[in-house]
Amino acid sequence: MRLAPLFAALALGLAACGPSQETATAPAPTRSAEVPAIYQARQDAGPSGEVIQIPAVRAAYLTDRNRRQMVPFNGSEAPGSIVVDPYARVLYHVQPGGQAMRYGVAVGRAGKGFEGSATIARKASWPSWRPTDNMIRTEPELYSQFAGGLSGGMHNPLGSRALYLYQGNTDTYYRIHGTMDPSSIGKATSAGCIRLFNQDIIDLFEQVPNGTRVTVRSQSDSLRMEGPMIETPEGYVIPASEMQQAQAQGQAPAAALAAPAYDPMAAQPADPYAQMATAPAFDPMASGAVAVTDPFAPSAPAALPAATATTWVSPVESAVPAW
């Protein structure tokens, strides 16, 4: 199935349903009693000052590791800095007193293409997006229609906010951003760097200024600081120790109980860039979970569909932002 018509239809559909210049008087979003206040629907000012409705996050997606929460922090990074662990699929905003605000994240292939330290050099609210010239050249049927850039909004894969990481004056092309697919948070995805719920990236965006130091952990750093992770059949990760404890008590892990089942074949165009499964292949005859290493490692090429088994290019974070 070609994704270009699907994406175009999705983008136009969302734009058509978007608020007009008269939406300043729009009614307040409906609140869900099952969703915490910080994840309720809200209104936000769009790129041109228009009102954008951000839907509430479904309660099913708010697993314990996906929820924004203050947790003990055992790293050496200074308060105010950000630590991204793409293998444990969490982001920490370090606070004083050995604490950190932890956010659940989705990790795309590009999210494991960088490690080390960088600095936030640019912040954007409802950022625009443009495919790179290389993307347009190699897949013109998909990307040429967006050569002029895609405006910010709920139809944009970068979501409500984006943080751009640089090393000196050099763009790392590593992004921390929102999402148009909240069901992906906590999982491995085919595209993108580090995605947060739109409500969470808005919160983080307001807390961190330009110049904030960001550390992206390597796989060995993650193992040392977080311990081994286990991936559940639903595509989420939990600490192996939690799985072992649950098994010893004869219970399923909480993350597996709370997580929605993910069907990669379902016809839900939530993410037009999802060209591969969001998690490593799961064998239902196995023990119920697989150890997490790197689902995008070259040793597992079978995870890629035949159409994308060539050199992979991130359709979001390798893109040049439309300024």
- The residues that are catalytic are 177, 193
CB 191 within 8 A of CB 314: yes
CA distances from 294 to 90, 231, 284 (A): 15, 11, 20
CB 314 within 8 A of CB 276: no
Taking the C-alpha atoms of residue 198 and residue 136, their distance in angstroms, rounded to an integer, is: 28
Residue 302: how many other CB atoms lie within 10 Å: 8
| End-to-end Cα, the chain, rounded Å | 31
DSSP code of residue 55: P
Taking the C-alpha atoms of residue 60 and residue 259, their distance in angstroms, rounded to an integer, is: 6
Strand, coil or helix: 289: coil
- CB proximity list for 128: less than 8 A, separation 6 or greater: 47, 149, 150, 151, 152, 156, 321, 322, 323
Q: Which residue has the tokens 């892990």?
A: 253
Which of 108, 101, 86, 51 lies closest to 208 in space, CA to CA? 101
